[in-house]
Amino acid sequence: MALKSQMLLFIVFAGASMVCAVLTYTVGNSLLAFLLGVLALILAVVAFSTKYYMYLYIPAMRMKNKNIAISSAEPYLLSPSGTSIITSDENGTYASSFITIPIYKSGTEMSDQERLDIARLFSRILTVSKSTIKISSQLYIVNKDKYIAKIRNKLDESESKLRSVLQQAGSGTQITDRAKGEVTMWHNLLNNISASKSEALITYAMVSANGGNEEEASSIAYQHAEEVASGISAILGISAYVADGEEILNFIEPDRMIPVETVNELIHQKTVEEGI
């Protein structure tokens, strides 16, 4: 649809440009011919620019305060099922679903052959989809507040577990040492994450589907995502799954890559350090 209107607009401008150029042959006045010639040149540039900038033409006519608003709507809407995001534009209604690919392997622990194999397998996952697919690896800053709270809960749990183990008369040394080790591990983890900013890496895939309405697009996208998740799981030997709800936002929102609370904490720390 957009491509057709782009071509139509190009034909209109290119046609007008050629008409102006031809008219320069018919008018007798050299000044009038020159002005027509200049108009033909301007129209020629405008005609060519439709190839890349057609989407800006109509919004540019409604420009306010030197700002061209291509769209003032939200960039996407979360589908009622929570398994995809919906976008609508001049090309139709699209739904996109995301597949989380949990990979916990490290290249440093692999032999050369294993590294070669994983690189080959990874390139194979690009072929699991018959339509367009996006594979992304995202390094993001972990929302520390939530993480710290989680670690604290784990620490509390392990401490109460240690207490109950110590209170039990018949507990063996091995069980006690294990419980103590667990408490030490969570303690160390808590100290470490409080000292520096924590980052995490996540890999995901994205697929989109076009539909007559939001429900149809969302359902097709989800179905396609399920197929892709199965394909990826089989190739890499992992459990890839279709992300939903809040998890999707982690892949598309920049403020989820750098959480507000963490940034505020970092800015505060920096200010305190500079103050000292």
Task: Write out the binding residues for another protein, residues 180-219 only, by CB under 8 A.
Answer: 197, 199, 201, 206-208, 210
Binders of another protein in range 142-161 (CB under 8 A): none
Q: Are 232 and 115 in contact (CB under 8 A)?
A: no
Binders of another protein in range 89-128 (CB under 8 A): 89, 91, 94, 96, 106-108, 110, 112-113, 115-116, 118-120, 123, 126-127
Q: Cα–Cα distance between 220 and 218 in angstroms, integer?
A: 6
Q: How far is the CB of 38 from another protein (least distance, A)?
A: 6
Please tell me whether residue 3 binds another protein under the rule CB under 8 A. yes
Q: How far is the CB of 13 from another protein (least distance, A)?
A: 9
Report how far apart, in Å, the C-alpha atoms of 70 and of each of 29, 61, 73 are.
43, 11, 9
Q: Which two tokens stand for residue 34?
A: 């020159």
Q: How far is the CB of 183 from another protein (least distance, A)?
A: 29
Collect all residues with Cβ–Cβ distance below 8 Å to 199 and sequence separation of at least 6.
Answer: 139, 140, 141, 142
| Size of the chain in residues | 276
Q: Cα–Cα distance between 114 and 105 in angstroms, integer?
A: 11
Q: Which two tokens stand for residue 170?
A: 């018949």
Collect all residues with Cβ–Cβ distance below 8 Å to 178 and sequence separation of at least 6.
Answer: none
- Which C-beta is closer to another protein: that of 56 or that of 149? 56
- Which C-beta is closer to another protein: that of 113 or that of 173? 113
Q: How far is the CB of 35 from another protein (least distance, A)?
A: 9
Please tell me whether residue 141 binds another protein under the rule CB under 8 A. yes
Total residues contacting another protein by CB under 8 A comes to 91
Type of residue found at 73: A
Binders of another protein in range 221-260 (CB under 8 A): 252, 254-255, 257-258, 260
Binders of another protein in range 34-93 (CB under 8 A): 34, 37-38, 40-41, 43-45, 47-49, 51-53, 55-56, 63, 66-76, 85, 87, 89, 91
- Which C-beta is closer to another protein: that of 19 or that of 166? 19
Q: Are 150 and 212 in contact (CB under 8 A)?
A: no
The beta-carbon contacts of 187-192 under 8 Å, at least 24 apart in sequence, are: 187/155, 189/151, 190/148, 190/151, 190/152, 190/155
- Which C-beta is closer to another protein: that of 165 or that of 202? 202
Please tell me whether residue 134 binds another protein under the rule CB under 8 A. yes
